[in-house]
Amino acid sequence: MDDKGDWTMFPGLDPNVKGAVPESYYFRINGIPIYLKGANVIPMTVIPSNTTTEVINTMLTAALEANQNLLRVWGGGLYHPQAFYDFCDEHGILIWQDAMFGGSHYPRDPEMLQNIWEEITQQAERLSWHPSVALWCGNNELELSYEWPNNTMVRSNRNMFVTDYMKNIQTVRKAIKKVNPSSIFVSSSPTKGALVDTPEDYQIRWGWISDTRYGSVHHYEYLADCEDFRSYPAAKFVTEFGWQSYPLPETYAAAMIPETDWGVGNPMNEFRNRRTDVTPQFLYQYGLHFKLPKEWNPEDPKERMSRCDLG
C-alpha cells in the first residue's frame, strides 16, 4: 500500500491492465491500515432468549482463537444483545453492523419509512457509541437481489425497485448519521460502492454486483472445490463466502437419534436441514476428496448438482 492508501500489488489498480479501476477498499483504524480476517455472525440460537452471555462469550472466544479481527452482524438476522458488543469492545474485535433488512423488496410509503427511521435511530443510539462498531451497512443482499433470476417481481419493475431502494437506503443512512455524523456507512453487502457520498446526497453505483473491481462481493460457487483457494475471487473485499456443512454431532444428538436419524438422505436428517436439496452439495464436496459408498450417491455428482437450486 502506498502513502495514498492504494494497494500497489492489486492488479485491478494497475493502469496498464485493461478495465482496471483505481479504487481501493480497506479499513484504516486510527490512521493505520488493517488487514481484516473474520466471519459473519447469524443468530446464535433459534430462540433469542436462549442466547445467554455464556453462549455469546463462547462464540466470540472461538473467533479470537481463530485470529479473527472483524465480525459482520448479518442483516438477515437480528441485532445482538449488549453483551455481544461489550465483549468485542473489551477484546479488540471490530464489528461490521448490518441494518436488519435482507434479500427482499421494501416499499417506500410514509408508514414504512417512519418505521425504518425509528428502528435505525433506536439501534444507532444503542450501538454507535461502542468503539468496536467500525461501520454500518444498510442491508444484506438487496442490491444483489436486483440480479436474482427468480426475482421476477423486481426484474419486471426495475425502475420501481431502484426508486424504492434508494429512498429506503437514504432513510437508513440519514438516521445513522443523525445519531453519529462520523459513522462510516456502506449501502449493502455486497455493493459496488457509492458514486456520491456527501452530507447532502448519497447515490450508489449500479451494475453487475459481482464485478471484483468495485466494492465488496459475495462468493458462493458450489461446483468448485471448497478447499481450493483458486476458486475464490481476487476481489477487493469479500463479505460472504462459504459452503454449508453439518453441525457438530453434539448439536444433532440433542434432537435426533444417531442410530436411526443420521444416515445420508435419512428423512429426519433432511427435515432438520431446511435448505431444499442440499445433500447433493455435501456429497459432491465429499466426493472430491473421498471415495464414497455407491449407495450414497448413485448418480454422477455433477449431473445431480445440475438439477439442484444452487441459489
Q: Based on the residue annotation, tell me whether 119 is a catalytic residue of this protein.
A: no
CA 234, CA 51: separation in Å to the nearest integer?
36
> How far is it between the farthest Cα atoms of the chain?
63
Strand partners, 240: 218
Q: What residues pair up with 72 in beta bridges, in sequence order?
A: 40, 96
d(CA 200, CA 218): 29
- Quote the CA–CA distance of 122 and 127 in Å, as a whole number: 9
Catalytic residue chosen out of the listed positions 240, 250, 259, 303: 240
CA distance 280 to 169: 37
- Phi, psi angles (nearest 5°) of residue 89: -60, -45
Cell of 248: 457438530
Active-site residue 143, yes or no? no
Annotated catalytic residue, options 141, 200, 221, 303:
141
CB contact set of 19 (below 8 Å; sequence gap of 6+): 213
d(CA 225, CA 231): 7
CB atoms closer than 10 angstroms to residue 202: 20
User: Which cell is 123 given?
Assistant: 439501534
Task: Tell me if residue 25 falls in helix, strand or coil.
Answer: coil
Give the residue numbers annotated as catalytic, written as ranges. 141, 240
